[in-house]
Amino acid sequence: MEAFKQQEVPLLDLERVSIHYDGIQALREVSLEIRKGEIIAVIGANGAGKTTLMRGISGLLEKRSGRILFNGRDVTRLGPQVLVTLGICQVPEGRHIFPSLSVEDNLVLGAYWRLRQREATKREIRRNMASIYGIFPNLKERRKQKGATLSGGEQQMLAIGRAIMSKPKLLLLDEPSMGLAPKIVDTIFDVLKKLHEQELSILLVEQNAEMAFSISQRAYVLQNGQVVLTDDCQYLIDNKEVKDIYFGTDDPDFQFSQNKT
C-alpha cells in the first residue's frame, strides 16, 4: 500500500514554474506538489512570491516557463473559468466577496458553473448551502444581509463557503487569518481541519506559520521567488533557520544557507 501511495500521480504538480509580474521575475523555477487529501503550507516573508504562486496556479497570471499538472493533465495555459470546473478554487487574500449581494446570493454564485453546466440541480445547491450554514452558523443567521454588513471574520467565512460551493478538489487559501481576531482564526482553522477530514486537498499560504504547521502535513518555504526549503512540518519546526525566522526573529532579510528542494 505504501509503495502504491508513493507512485500515485500528484493532484497538483508544479514543474519549474517561472512567472514574471509587472516586469519582475516573481517566481523562479518553483517545483511543488500536492497529493490527494493533503494540506500543504507555503510560508515566506512579504514579497517572497506567495500570492504570485497562488495566482499562477489558479490561472490569473501567465506562466513564463515550466508546467502545471492537475490530476496528470497539463493545465499550464488554462484560465480560472476552466480551472474551477476541473476542481481548483481559490479564496484570495482580502476575501473579495460581492459586498452589495446577500450572503445567500454570494454562496449561489459560488455554484454558478455547476448550475450553468447542469452539474447540479437547484435542490442540490440548496443542500450544499445548508451544509455551509452547518459549518458556519453565523452565515445562516445573516443569510439575507449584504456582504458589506458582515464583520471581517464573517466575510472570510463567506469567502470560504462560496469556494466550497464550487465543489473543489483543491482549495487554494491565501492568508486566511490576515486581520482577524485570534478567536475567529481558531474557528477558521478548525473548519479547515474538518474539510481535510473530508479528504479535501488544501494549499495554504499563511503568515501565521505556527497555525499553518499545526494543520499541514508538509510545507514549502519561499524566499525571493524560489523554494529554499521543503519538508514535513514536524521536521521544519525543528529547523533552526525556520525557528529563527518564523517562530523567533522574523527577519525578512535572512538568507537561508540550505537549498533543500
In the structure, what pLDDT confidence band is assigned to residue 261 with cuts at 50, 70 and 90? very low
Q: Specify the higher pLDDT residue, 203 or 62.
A: 203
Q: 185 and 212 in contact (C-beta within 8 Å)?
A: no
Asked if residue 76 has pLDDT above 60, the reply is yes
Q: Position of cell 475567529? A: 184
Domains and CATH numbers, the chain: 2-97+167-246 (3.40.50.300)
Task: Give the model's pLDDT for residue 204.
Answer: 97
Please give the single-letter amino acid code of residue 15: E
Instruction: Report the SS3 class of residue 17.
Output: strand
E strands of 84-174, at which residues?
88-91, 170-174
Cell of 119: 452539474
pTM of the complete model:
0.88
Task: Give the model's pLDDT for residue 23.
Answer: 82
Query: CA-based diameter of the chain, in Å?
Result: 55
Residues in the chain: 261
Q: What is the pLDDT of residues 42-75, one digit of tens each?
A: 999 888 999 999 999 999 998 889 999 999 999 9
Q: What is the pLDDT of residues 149-202, one digit of tens each?
A: 999 999 999 999 999 999 999 999 999 999 899 999 999 999 999 999 999 999
Asked if residue 250 has pLDDT above 60, the reply is no
